Chain A
């Protein structure tokens, strides 16, 4: 990393690729692919919702893995903490996109803004959990303590996901609720292509955002590091200049 920015050739290439992929998704999604027989224009959300959901889960999963790496003594390094935080932040963004797109889809299909669809409910829970996690990260104080706290929280949150998944699935079967995506058993032709491209696009977008956010955190850390030597010198200087000439120490 040279200079004070977070861009370099890698991110520029990544960014360009992302742009291309997103444009392709938009083109296929909005122009080329036909509207669905049953769902009409609403099916175009298939180019947003599943990809956003997957990216969101990847983001949260990465956060948990990075947190584990931080907690494991042999690989402890603040870089993992920065990665975890960056991952979670972007994961939250994609989570919101998932929920909003899911909500719109539900509204269009069944006229309600929210169905207690298992996956949607689980995603909403995850959002709440990780917003709490991000809140925990914002607390001040000793950065190492904060990193450790957050890492433990991330691991705890993620380990409960299977429990949440079971719970929300059982709950849904009790109520025979409406599910998204089940009404699209046959995805073919341009729809399939579009969906695959959207996954690629969202993945690239996630990677691009992650790299920048992660580097931003590292930059902040480095800025603090360089102040360290100065802080030591300053601290010692505190002792050198007496306020008033007191009776000497022996």
Chain B
């Protein structure tokens, strides 16, 4: 399973390196979303600083959708989806590999978005340990959930509209938890950030486990 995961993850990242979709399309999209938030909040500096964690994670959520869509679009060109099944790769390995590749891309995007938030919203980053741990855990959860639902939607003609409908309600707790944890880390609220981190960790654990267990059933759908 791990060997297959490394193989698939490596392949996905190599595709990304060659096609540069995430860097050339999703990243600008992410920065644009931040700009739009600025417009929507009418440059209100205090408001933006207060809202920065939430806005950051909403932007990440939107990027997750794109990253997952792209992960499966890669498989769909010219019948390549059959290729994954035909290769005889362990489905659990495919899941972990794809989720890992999505997570890696998301982390890169988050670094960019983090910089964007500092620059555009004037946030300054404190308690980096909590920030980074939260980001990692939340990203794992997002990538795992997105990859599972992406597989479900992958073969369907309505996948572009169905995927957000499936994924967003399910990852809502991640948005909630990550925002709260970041607000704690940035001293914007008095909540216990570590409690929220624990919540994010359970979410990620649940989806990673379930993904590994359920993926073989899902891959079988033509």
Contacts and interface: CB of A to CB of B under 8 A. Distances in A.
B168 A128 contact: yes
Nearest to A166: B199
A25 B193 CA distance: 46
State the 10 A-B residue pairs at the shortest beta-carbon distance, nearest first: A128-B169, A145-B221, A129-B169, A132-B166, A167-B173, A132-B165, A152-B214, A139-B156, A167-B176, A149-B152
Given A71-B217, A131-B165, A155 B210 contact: yes
A240 interface: no
A132 B161 CA distance: 10
Q: Interface size for chain A: under 10, 10 to 19, 20 to 34, or 35 or more residues?
A: 20 to 34
Contacts of B156: 139, 141
B172 interface: yes
B166 A135 contact: yes
Contacts of A159: 206, 210
Interface of B: 145, 148-149, 152-153, 155-158, 162, 165-166, 168-170, 172-173, 176-177, 180, 189, 191, 195-196, 199, 202-203, 206-207, 210, 214, 217-218, 220-222
A170 interface: yes
7 contacts: A135-B162, A135-B166, A145-B221, A152-B148, A163-B203, A174-B180, A174-B189
A139 B162 CA distance: 9
A42 B2 CA distance: 59
Nearest to B190: A174
Interface in A99-147: 125, 128-129, 131-133, 135-136, 139, 141-142, 145-146
Interface of A: 71, 125, 128-129, 131-133, 135-136, 139, 141-142, 145-146, 148-149, 152-153, 155-157, 159-160, 163-164, 166-168, 170-171, 174
Contacts of A174: 180, 189, 191
Contact of B170 (A149, A156, A168, A171): A156
A141 B152 contact: no
A159 B145 CA distance: 12
B205 to A, nearest CB: 10
A160 B206 contact: yes
A160 B218 contact: no
B144 to A, nearest CB: 10
A152 B221 contact: no
Contacts of B206: 159-160, 163
